[in-house]
Structures are given as C-alpha cells and as structure tokens.
Structure 1
Amino acid sequence: MRNIFLVIRREYLVRVKKKSFLIMTFLGPLLFAGFYAAVIWIAMGSVDTKTVQVIDESGLFKNEFKDSEAIKFKYLSSTINSAKSNFQKSGANALVYIPREVIREPKGVRIYAAKNVSMELKGDIEKTIEREIENIKLSRAGITHKILEDSRVNVSSETISLSDEGEKTSSSGAATAIGVICGFLIYLSVLIYGTQVMRGITEEKTNRIVEVIISSVKPFQLMMGKIIGVALVGLTQFSLWILLTIAISSVSSSLIAKRVPENSKVMVQGMDKVKSAEMAVQQAGGVDNPVAEVMKAVNSLNIPLIIGTFLFYFIGGYLLYSALFGAVGAAVDNDADTQQFMFPITMPIIFSFVFAQFVLRDPDGGLAFWTSIIPFTSPIVMMVRIPFGVPAWELILSMVLLVMGFAGTIWIAARIYRVGILMYGKKVTYKELAKWIFYK
C-alpha cells in the first residue's frame, strides 16, 4: 500500500502543478462566463433592423403587422407590379403581397426579396396572416374574442408520489433536469480523466521512464496509483470550479447591487410591495410564483440520496473505464496506435448517454432497468433514473454489479498492464491481448 500511496502522491502533485491545470482550473470559470457573455453581446449587437413592405389588396391587414426592433413594416398603396419594379431602389429587405381574395385562397400570399428571407421572418409573416384570417372567419361565425378568451383554460397539474411513507409531492421537470446534469457530468469526467490515465501511461512507456519505476514498484501498484491519482486531480478540479463559480456569482451580484442608482431605490421598494402582494395572493391560492415553484420542485427530490449515489457512480464508473484506458495505454507504443482499442471502450459510454434520452421517457421500462444494471452503462443511466425514484433492490443490485464490474476490469487491466508496460516495437492485436490475460 505504501508504494501505491507514493505513486498517487507523485501523480497528483505532478498534474496539479502543471501550468495547464492551474490555467484551466482558475481561469476556466472566467473563460466560460466570458465566452457566453461574448456570444450574448454579439447576438444582441448583430441584430439589424429589416424593412418589410406590405401591399394589402384585401384591406384586412392594415396595422396588423407590428413593428419591432428587428423588423419595420411599411404599407404601400401602389400596385404590386410598380412595387416590384421599385423594390431594388427602395432598400427594403422584403415585399409582402396579400391578394384580394386571401381568405378564400390563402396560398396566394407572396414574399418577394432580393435574397432568400430568413425562416423566422417568413414564419412571423405567415403567422400574422393566419391569425387574422382565423379571427375574421370566427367573427363571421358569431364567435367573438371574449368567447375565445373565456374558452382558453390553463391546466397546471401537481404530481404526487404514493409510497410506503405516504403521499409526497414530486416534480418531473426537476427530476429530468437533475438526472440529465448528473449523467452528463459522469459521461464527461469518464472520457476526460480516463483518457488522461491512458496518455500518461503511454508517455512514460514511450520515454522509457517506466523501466526505472517498475524496478521498485509492482505493475499493479503503479497502475492503481495512476488511476487514483488522476481521480483525485479530477475531484480537486471539480471542487475548485464549483467554489470559483459560487465566488464569481457572489461578486457579480454585489457589483450589480452597488451600481443600482439611488433614485431606483423607490422603484425597488415598490417592487417589494408588489411581491408582498403577490405572495399574499399565492397564499390565498392565487397566481403561481415561478421561483417558489422551482424551490418546491427541488425540495421534492431526495437530495442526499442523489448526492450520495452520484459520488458512488462517479467513482465506480471512473474506476471501471480508467482501468481499461490504462490497459490500452500499456499495450501500445504511441497515441496513434490507441485508436483501434479506443472504439470498443468508448462505445458503451456513448451508447449509455444515448440510452439515457429514451430512459427519460420511460424511467421504469425494460430498457431503463437493464441499462441501469449492466456495469458499463449503469453509472450514467442509473443517475438519470434515481431522481424519478428507483426501488431499493434495483439500486443495490446495480451497485453490487458495478463493484464487481470495476473489480473485474481492474483485474483484466492489471494482467495486460504487467506484460504490455515493458513490451516495445510490436503491433498488438486483440488476440495478443487475450493471451496476456492468461499469462502466468
């Protein structure tokens, strides 16, 4: 065990002292926030106001097309032929022609443009015309807007779980969001840090450093030290990202609060009064509060169970796949040769993430059950299922099989590692790997 701890210490310190680790850990949240801020700024600044000319022969759509920051509508009284001939000189982006018999022949609407118009603009124009035609037909049938408004009903149902503990409020939306986030984090971490284990072993083998290390450390101890060391690096990075994100959010909130003008305090006080009134209405069974709904949805989940199982499946999935990645790194001489062995390892990870999309539709179906039991897919799929509620026996069976799974993969990887780590200049095949496993 002492040798394993020494390897873990070496792997951890070497990686956390690298400039790339420090840069990505401390600047990662800032770069991530800056990237999205730049995207939003570019998106907001790149919106050009477009001018759309309208010729309405029916006379039914006057002032129905509403101007916005992106689109300005201009009604023309000329004929369509005259408008088409002057279109290039007008500088307009599009010309909409509405025929006289548009109600009887709605397909007669035409949109002219020097270039193809965007799908968004085309859709807005079509929806406006469709809505007005519907209103006219309903009015002719004696149906007014008031009747339509009174007939519209908003149904907001509340889901309640029935269990041995009694009735308990649940939220499908919160369960879906938490499940997807947990599954994606495991998917991403297994690929990133598992690949780091493989590349670290390949690099040491290529540089012949491993020949010196192996003289005082057993191959199994070296492999386990690398796997656990990289795992600790990953946990350190994730923890720092979470802390830095919270710190950046707190600082940003305080800066925004300080920049609020003094004369806006009255407005804030007024808003507080409005919020108090809204809360009173809600307590009386009135309008729903989105923030309260979100907090209620989160509180309906078993957060301690989700956190505990996430840590278990995070570690279990990482150990299972990193052992296989380590075996591949020991079997080849360079990164180029790893491609033929990477495919069968990464496919179960990718498939499990794809299966998770179907599991969200039916968390208790046959596909959900079997993929959450099989060790190669259970770390991701089971984390998607847990927020919806999983029977205790299924969860225990999945955990036991995952422990057996990574114990088996570590044994196989160690058998390959002890032979391949000192083998050079030979193209390894799957048949050769099978022989290494049973070497004495």
Structure 2
Amino acid sequence: MNNPILLIIQREFLSRVRKKTFLLVTILGPLVFAALLIVPGILASMPEDDKNIIVLDEATLIIPEEGRGEYHLEYLDPRENDFRTAKKFFSESAYDALLYIPSGENWDPDFIKNNILLFGKEDPSINMVQFLDGILEDRLNKQKLLRNGVDPEVVAQSATQVSIQSYTVGEEGEEEQQSATGLKMGLGYIAGFFIYFFIFFYSVMVMRGVIEEKSSRIVEVIISSVRPFQLMMGKILGIGSVGVVQFIIWVVLSGGIYLAATTLLFQEALAEQAAAGPGAAEAASIQGFEVFDQLRSINFPLIIGGFIFYFFAGYFLYSAMFAALGSAIDQEADSQQFMLPVTVPMIIAILTAANVIQDPNGSYAFWMSMIPFTAPISMMIRLPFGIPIWQVFVSGAILIGTFFAMVALAGKIYRVGILMYGKKITWKELYKWLRH
C-alpha cells in the first residue's frame, strides 16, 4: 500500500474504531434512539390514575352520567351549596379537583363560558381539562341553539365531515395510488434530521482531528512524507469510512430493536382484537391493507439511494470546510467564530423543514434543494413526496461540482494553515490564503 492517501485513511479509520468510546457510542446509540421512540409511546398508552372530581353545577349543564373512564364526577346540590361552601368542602376532602359552573343571570351561555372555574390539589392535567372542555362546550352550544329557537338535533344531523382522499397519478396516466401524505411528512422530516445530524457530527470530528494533530505537532512529521492536500483528503475519507461503519451498525441494531418491539406490540394488539370480537379484527385488517397501500406509494429505493448519496456528498462538502477551519486555528475554542457562518445553511434548512414539508413542490422547497449547502437536508425532506427525477439529478450535479470547488479552496487554506502557529486568524486572513 504505497498510496499515501490510503495509508492515511487506514490510520484514521483504525485509530478511531479501536477506541472504547467508538464501541460505546455505536452500541448505546441505537438503544438510546429506540428508547426515545418507544418509551414515550409506552408511557402515553399507560392509563392515568382515577381522578375524582366534585362538581357544583349551578347552570345544570352536566348530566350526571357524563363521567368517563378515569374521571369520576360527583355532584353537590346547588340548592344546598354555594361556591364558598363547595370550596371549603373540597379543601377538606380527598377529591382531586373541583369544577364550578355558575348560572349567571338568565343562564346566559356567554357569561357561563367565561366564568367556569377548575381547582385542583395539584395542577390539573391537560387530559382532564380537555375532557371537561369537551363536555361543557357541547352543552353550551346546545343551550345557545335552544335560546335562538334552533333544534340541536337538526344541527347535529346536518353536520358533515369531509374526508378528502388524495391520490397520485403517473405521467402516463397509469393506475392511481394513495399518496400517504402523513407518512411521507414523517419520513421526510426524519430523513432530513438524520442527514443534518450525521453531516454535522462527522464534519466536526474531522475538524477536531486536524486541530489535535496540529496542536501536538504530529502534523509536522506527517507533512514531511505527504502533501497537505493528501493529508486533508485522507483524513476526510478515513473519518467518513468510520461514519459509514457506525451508521450501518446503527441501522442493523435499530432495525432489530424496532422489529422486536413492534412484534411484541403487534401480538398484544392481536390479543386485544381477538377479545374484542370479529368486528374489531375485520376493521384492523382493513386498516392494515390501507397502510400497506400507503407504503406502496413511496419510492423507498429512491429514498435509500438519495440518503446514501446526500450523506456522502454533504459530508464531503462540509468536512472539507471544517478541515480547512481546523488547519487555520490552534485550539478548538477559537473555532466558534468560523463555525457559525459555515453551519448557518444547515441550521436554516432544518429550521425551515416545515415550510418544505407543507409544499414540497413549491418554489421555496425547490430552491432550497438546489442550493448545495442546504440541498442534502431539503432534498431528503422532498424525496418521499415523489418529486421529478430531473430535479434530483440537477441538485446532485450542483452538489458534486460545489464539492470539488470547495475541496480546491479548502486545500489552499489547509496548505498554509496546517503549519502556522500562534497567529490569530481572521476571515480577512483566510481570504489572503485563498489568493495565495
């Protein structure tokens, strides 16, 4: 192996994968990520403790049977109790909350809705407030209708909910497919976030590696055997290969954890459906077919291929810039003034991801996916929505061209900065190096 770049790649790769921190992060990363996905769902599915709510309903809005599930409503007789006595009774009781509904003058719904009070021994949960809001809004709406001579039943029967089914049609008018907009939104955002995380994480790793070698003066020995440009490219490719290995391990471990968790949850769901009867099983089967149809409408090979390409292209682009920055400074603390301008495009892309998701074929989304510094994130967000393939090729070509141009510019900075010590570097100084 006489190629110096290959030797540097090997050195960078082996020096990192042999570290205990690499093994620790590689193994714990998927576990932490899986926990972030699974644990909130498990906690959300756990039933809340039963809550006992005492109600003083002077407006007689709530029907006694309207308590539900974990919320048990018990009533004080408004003919024998007022707000003061109800509050005193609540403070001395074991009830969790007190709901007070005033009658006002002539039982005016507008007055009532603005003067309903809820007291708790602890802060009332959002679920409790939403539960009570739902009951009271329904009852007050009916009262308003009756006061205006409108039968609430007629209004209820006239209410119409529209559910628009969206489809995609091929260029040649082939069979339509369900578009699965919600699934594509989630997939696009997750893909964009992962691209952002990996590019930033491994590019910073390149910068730190350059700073460490420069501060320890090891680079002076290495430069005597290889050219600065070869050292920079070897470091970029070596750390990139570490990222690829780590990412593959993460995908395999995360996939295994996800399959195991979903299998257990699926078995529990099947048991619940069997207990619920054949009707529930049939409804679940129909829902499963709908999800399958939605998955079929997504071009997963394009998304996977796009993720691999934009990860490597984005990483090479940003790692070249970070390597140049690392060569220009002596300590990592000095990097802050240079890092922000370099990372601003990525930050803007991830912060405006919602704009791209809301209109993936709009002008903003299009130009964000064409600008090379934001394309890795914005294009990955757009890919699940089935954008024209020519846009992918144009975006990729611009990104590759920008990468080669950036490598040439970064090489100029790296060549000068890697052997320069003790000088405070400014943007003006970097510009001089580029012209050198």
What band does the TM-score fall into relative to the shorter chain?
Answer: 0.7 to 0.9
* 1:156/1:348 CA distance change after superposition, 3 Å: same
- Secondary structure of 1:59's partner? coil
* 1:226/1:373 CA distance change after superposition, 3 Å: same
- Secondary structure of 2:358's partner? coil
- 1:197 Cα deviation (Å)? 0.5
Q: Alignment partner for residue 291 of structure 1, among 288, 293, 299?
A: 288
CA distance in 2, matches of 1:49, 1:269: 27
Q: Alignment partner for residue 244 of structure 1, among 238, 243, 253?
A: 253
- 1:317 Cα deviation (Å)? 0.7
- 1:299 Cα deviation (Å)? 1.0
- 1:142 Cα deviation (Å)? 5.9
- 1:388 Cα deviation (Å)? 2.2
Q: Alignment partner for residue 171 of structure 2, among 163, 170, 183?
A: 163
Q: Give me the TM-score of the superposition, normalised by structure 1.
A: 0.86
Q: Alignment partner for residue 208 of structure 2, among 190, 194, 199?
A: 199
Partner of 1:129: 136
Is the 1:56–1:62 Cα contact (8 Å) retained in structure 2? Answer: no
- 1:200 Cα deviation (Å)? 0.8
Partner of 2:187: 178
CA distance in 2, matches of 1:127, 1:349: 42
* 1:17/1:152 CA distance change after superposition, 3 Å: same
Partner of 2:375: 378
Partner of 1:51: 52
* 1:91/1:275 CA distance change after superposition, 3 Å: closer
* 1:358/1:435 CA distance change after superposition, 3 Å: same
CA distance in 2, matches of 1:269, 1:121: 31
Q: How many matched pairs?
A: 425
- 1:369 Cα deviation (Å)? 2.0
CA distance in 1, matches of 2:16, 2:366: 38
Partner of 1:110: 117
- 1:249 Cα deviation (Å)? 3.8
1:414 equivalenced with 2:398 (yes/no): no
1:427 equivalenced with 2:435 (yes/no): no
Q: What amino acid is the match of 1:79?
A: N
Is the 2:273–2:280 Cα contact (8 Å) retained in structure 1? Answer: no
CA distance in 1, matches of 2:282, 2:124: 46
After superposition, what is the alpha-carbon deviation per residue over 1:143-171, rounded to whole angstroms, capped at 9, x for unaligned? 36487257434524132224136343233
Greater mean deviation of Cα atoms: 78-87 or 319-328: 78-87
After superposition, what is the alpha-carbon deviation per residue over 1:338-377, rounded to whole angstroms, capped at 9, x for unaligned? 1111011110110122233212222222222222111111
- 1:48 Cα deviation (Å)? 5.1
Percent of aligned pairs sharing the same letter: 40
* 1:41/1:398 CA distance change after superposition, 3 Å: closer
Partner of 1:327: 324
Q: Which runs of 5+ in 1 are unaligned?
A: 283-288
* 1:24/1:96 CA distance change after superposition, 3 Å: same
- 1:245 Cα deviation (Å)? 2.0
CA distance in 2, matches of 1:400, 1:417: 25
Q: Which runs of 5+ in 2 are unaligned?
A: none
- 1:23 Cα deviation (Å)? 1.0
Q: What amino acid is the match of 1:312?
A: F
Q: What amino acid is the match of 1:73?
A: L
Q: What amino acid is the match of 1:158?
A: S
Is the 1:198–1:325 Cα contact (8 Å) retained in structure 2? Answer: yes
Partner of 1:310: 307
- 1:242 Cα deviation (Å)? 1.4
Q: Alignment partner for residue 95 of structure 1, among 89, 98, 116?
A: 98
- 1:217 Cα deviation (Å)? 1.6
Q: What amino acid is the match of 2:215?
A: T
* 1:41/1:178 CA distance change after superposition, 3 Å: closer
Q: What amino acid is the match of 2:138?
A: R
After superposition, what is the alpha-carbon deviation per residue over 1:247-293, rounded to whole angstroms, capped at 9, x for unaligned? 234455677899x8xxx98x8767796577558xx8xxxxxx33222
Greater mean deviation of Cα atoms: 247-256 or 345-354: 247-256
CA distance in 2, matches of 1:111, 1:354: 37
Q: Give me the TM-score of the superposition, normalised by structure 2.
A: 0.86
Partner of 2:16: 15
Greater mean deviation of Cα atoms: 130-139 or 71-80: 130-139
Is the 1:64–1:128 Cα contact (8 Å) retained in structure 2? Answer: no
1:352 equivalenced with 2:360 (yes/no): no
- 1:10 Cα deviation (Å)? 1.1
CA RMSD of aligned residues (A): 3.1
- Secondary structure of 2:64's partner? coil
Partner of 2:242: 233
